[in-house]
Amino acid sequence: MRQTLAIYDMDKTVTRRPTYGLFLVHALRRVAPWRILLAPALLGTGLLYLAGRIDRARLKEINFRLLIGPVPPERLEPVVASFAERQLASNIMEGARRRIAEDKAAGRRLVLATASYRLYAAAIAERLGFDDVIATDTLPDEKGRIVARIDGRNCYGAAKLDMIEAWLQREGLEREALHIRFYSDHISDAPVHHWSDEAFATNADERLIRLAEAQGWEVLDWRDRRRLAPPR
């Protein structure tokens, strides 16, 4: 009998809203409130990204440095914990909670595969009952502080599939011996959708829905539009 895995994207698949901006604001208030003065520079980094001068990975690194800066791990740990608790209280879709519970009850190994930084994604995953996390890792600076400098690759697009396959190898899992479900909202995850045994276009936009219909993938929608108002 093949081992079964259920792999979930996080932002807008499990969570109602993307988490990185929320994390930056949460950490800014608790680590270095004065850095709000640097917020106008985010417009510049956004324009550089839109112009193709920097990629998503570099954008994430720069914005972290601007709003949070180098921070000792012990100082960030309670911030990460309080952020994860806040996400569980207000930013997890009920449909996602139910499906995660169903997959766990069915004996599937739960894996979160996200472009978000592991430094906070792992805390959210642990609280939701995930067994493993594949995420964007970080390297410390020369003083051991967290600066969100990406270690390896940003876990996004084709890189996510590569990182999942590398994780399988590290875990000693052979692809042919597995049955894999995959849930994601975004077209950038199409390589993993194609690679999985059961693909779910979850809370998807029109592009992914069209692809799902063409490929015969199931379309799920866990969004509760009554609760999509911006956070206070």
Q: What's at 155, amino acid-wise? A: C
Give the domain range for residue 144. 3-227
Domain for residue 232, yes or no?
no
pTM, two decimal places: 0.92
How confident is the prediction along the chain (232 residues), in pLDDT tens digits per residue? 789 999 999 999 999 999 999 999 999 999 999 999 999 999 999 999 999 999 988 999 999 999 999 999 999 999 999 999 999 999 999 999 999 999 999 999 999 999 999 999 999 999 999 999 999 999 999 999 998 899 999 999 999 999 999 999 999 999 999 999 999 999 999 999 999 999 999 999 999 999 999 999 999 999 986 554 444 4
Residue partners of 155: CB distance under 8 A and separation at least 6: 113, 114, 115, 134, 135, 136, 163
Could you give the 3-state DSSP secondary structure of residue 141? coil
Count Cβ atoms within 10 A of the Cβ of residue 23 and give its class: 0-12 exposed, 13-18 middle, 19 or more buried: buried
Task: Read off the CATH number of the domain in which 105 is found.
Answer: 3.40.50.1000
Q: Structurally, how many domains does the chain consist of?
A: 1
| Residue closest to 9 by CA, chosen among 175, 142, 224, 155 | 155
